[in-house]
Each structure stands twice: as structure tokens, then as C-alpha cells.
Amino acid sequence: MTLAFIRHGQTDWNFEKRLQGSTDIPLNDTGRAQARDAVSTLEGVDWEVIVSSPLSRARETAAIIAAGLDIELGPAYDELIERSYGEGEGATAEDIALKWPDHQYPGLESLDSVVARGRAALERIDAEYGDRNTLIVCHGTIIRYTLADLAGRPFDQIRNGSVATFERAGEAWRVLSVNDEPLTEFVN
């Protein structure tokens, strides 16, 4: 079974460089185009189903890709919601520099919690979809830190509309690509 994380397309808050987190901001037209563009990146693998976070930007991205690949649009998983940035959500870089220069926003969800949710979602998806090649549309922070945990190494920011592939290797996971680029070496 091959799986792929896809970061949702752009929103107005992404464009404005606002901290988005778990606030439900919809896709903009650029984000819809990014979702359509992801379809060509995904061609060549026999994808069977796509699931997502329940936030509208992820759900719409998943629906666009499902239609483009003519595959099943599966359920939304609460475990895939983006990291909660608490009171920082909606803030610009200038707001953050003034109010929270240490980036410790009141109500901030820990990265350990984000990774635990990401891993729990993968286990649930693996249990429900078995050997089906599955696409998973969610959010930049949960993708970045879940992949880092799986691979045992850090990754840079995850781009809107980009694809990261990985597979089950026994009891472990093996990361194959991030941000549409193959990894040159695997670390488990």
C-alpha cells in the first residue's frame, strides 16, 4: 500500500501570511487551481481512495482531486485537523513579533500532540483501507511533523498543493517523497 499526504490548496489567509491553524478558512481560486494541478502529479499510481481533514480547505481539495482522478472520496478524520495555534490564529508576522516573539501563543497545541494525532490517523486509515493506495489531504504542520517522526529527520515547510508519499514497511513507515521531490535516502 502506498499513501500520500497532500497539503490543501491556498486560502486567503495563506496568501496574507496569517497563522491559520485549526480555524476553518476556505480555499481561494489559487488553492482550487493547486488542487487541480496536484492531479497531474498523482497520475501514474493506481490511487483508489482519498480521505481528508474535515476542515473545508482540505475537504474541497480532496473533492477536486477525487473528481480529477475519478476515485472514491472517503471520509474526513478529526485526527487530521491542523495544529491549534490558540490565540495566534489569524495573526500576521507583525502581530506575532509584537505579541508573541517566542511563538508561544496562549492555547498552542504541543507538537507531540500533533504528531500523536497524525500517527493515530495513519493507523486508523491503515486499518480501514488495508492494502488500498490512499491519498490523505490535510495541513502543513501535521504533515511536516508526522513525516519527520516517521522518517526520523526534519523536513522544511510543506507547500500548498504538494504531495508527500510514504508506505508501510512492516511495523514502520518509509517516507519516499516530500514536496513532490523524491528523498535520496530513507531513514527509519
The set of catalytic residues is 8, 82
The type of residue at 48 is E
Closest to 110 measured CA to CA, from 86, 94, 89: 86
Give 148-153 contacts, CB < 8 A, sequence gap 24+.
Answer: 149/115, 149/118, 149/119, 150/174, 150/175, 150/188, 151/175, 151/183, 151/186, 151/187, 151/188, 152/187, 152/188, 153/187
Closest to 119 measured CA to CA, from 64, 79, 159: 79
